[in-house]
A = this chain, B = another copy of it.
């Protein structure tokens, strides 16, 4: 008998990585990127208050973090105008998605998402043996009605929807999301990934009762708060679902420094507003650079712009390769026809000056090889 004896499910899984990190690419290239615009990180960084709080917390890191995340949870509840019992804090949205899938999805259970949507969600569903059903995007946006229809057809336990969407940057008005929740098949939970919601115009935000048992919303300090490396995400849902996380979560999993940083970031709304403004400016600049090069920027309510390269996936992949070869880290959608695009995160002025300089060269090289 070989040791260890894996479960049949674990034995069947690939040893995979949902995303190859930029550091991995840099090691393979043997050179650092000059502009890091591929992971939708916030180049504008965290609030100075958050940096100071994390620096102050460093010497205290001999203590475990509070496993209840009490202070952060209460501050989030106040900021989101819900009760603390509606809030779960965890190790990024990635970690929380894993927990919600683990709580609900067993071998063969049906789950619905969009083809080309967040791979890490798919990774979790596969990791617990779920049967993942995908529907195509419609007009480069997630298609709520198709998701609902597929969920009804397959008896899905979960629907995943990101609004605004990653990797396309597009979004639906809040009323569309509200109607989608009203139309959910009986027993189906909407996993609403709002990682980019801080960039959504406030009038487009759906109004969802925190105690609605049909939906869980996920938000994060990784995007607008500029703290991707701190691994702080949170969920908003009915108290029953929130308390169920205590059945499976890594109770002492939160970094104490990250807890302190997130709390401080939350107390600096002016900084957040300034980041949202800078991101808006960067989006316009990226769109202008794309247009100047004959490409088509898609509308975006996120901290990135997805750019239609005007041909097929092979061409966009060639553009991506040429940008990477010229030290600009970007990514692109995985699935046709969205893979005709590349995805560029909001950068600093210097980052985007470099993009403006390099993109024509990358396009020329890609065209020469196609």
Interface residues of A (CB under 8 A from B): 1-10, 13-19, 21, 23-24, 27, 36, 39, 41-46, 51, 54-55, 57-68, 70, 91-92, 94-95, 98, 100, 102-106, 109, 120, 127, 157-158, 184, 186-189, 213-214, 222, 226-231, 241, 243-244, 246-248, 250-258, 261
Among B19, B51, B251, the residue within 8 A (CB) of A252 is B19
Given contacts A3-B213, A62-B226, A98-B250, 16 further A-B contacts (CB under 8 A): A2-B213, A3-B187, A3-B214, A4-B100, A4-B187, A19-B67, A21-B67, A41-B63, A42-B62, A54-B55, A61-B226, A62-B227, A65-B229, A92-B252, A229-B256, A255-B258
Closest to A253 in B: B91
Instruction: Provide the bound-state CA to CA distance between A17 and B253, in Å.
Output: 12
Q: Whole-angstrom distance between the alpha carbons of A50 and B258 in the complex?
A: 16
Residues of B within 8 A of A41 (CB): 62-64
Q: Which of B8, B9, B66 is the one whose CB lies under 8 Å from A23?
A: B66
Is B103 touching A7 in the complex (CB atoms < 8 A)? yes
Instruction: Please give, as numbers and ranges, the residues of chain B lying within 8 Å of A39 by CB-CB distance.
Output: 63-64
Is B15 within 8 A of A246, CB to CB?
Answer: yes
Instruction: Assess the B231–A255 pair: CB atoms within 8 A.
Output: yes
Q: A4-B157, A15-B243 are in contact. Are A230 and B213 (CB under 8 A)?
A: no
Query: Given A7-B104, A103-B7: A250 and B58 within 8 A (CB)?
Result: no
* Beta-carbon contact of B10 and A248 below 8 Å: yes
Grouping DSSP codes into helix (H, G, I), strand (E, B) and loop, the A interface class, with mixed when no group exceeds half, is loop
Most chain B CB within a 10 A radius of its CB, from A7, A8, A44, A257? A257
The answer for the CA separation of A310 and B362 in the assembled complex, in Å, is 77
Chain B: which residue is nearest A258 at the CB level?
A: B255
Residue of B57, B68, B253 touching A92 (CB-CB under 8 A): B253
Q: Is the CB of A189 within 8 A of B4?
A: yes
The 8 Å CB contact of A241, one of B4, B63, B68, B104, is B4
A248:B187 contact, CB within 8 angstroms? no
B94 touching A252, Cβ below 8 Å: yes
Chain B residues with CB under 8 Å of A58's CB are 46, 51, 54-55, 58, 257, 261
Query: Which residue on chain B has the smallest CB distance to residue A222?
Result: B64
Cβ of A92: which chain B residues have Cβ within 8 Å of it? Answer: 250, 252-253
Q: In the complex, which of the residues A6, A92, A222 has the most CB atoms of chain B within 10 Å of its own CB atom? A: A6
Chain B residues with CB under 8 Å of A91's CB are 91, 250, 253
- On chain B, the residues within 8 Å of A62 by CB distance are 41-46, 226-229
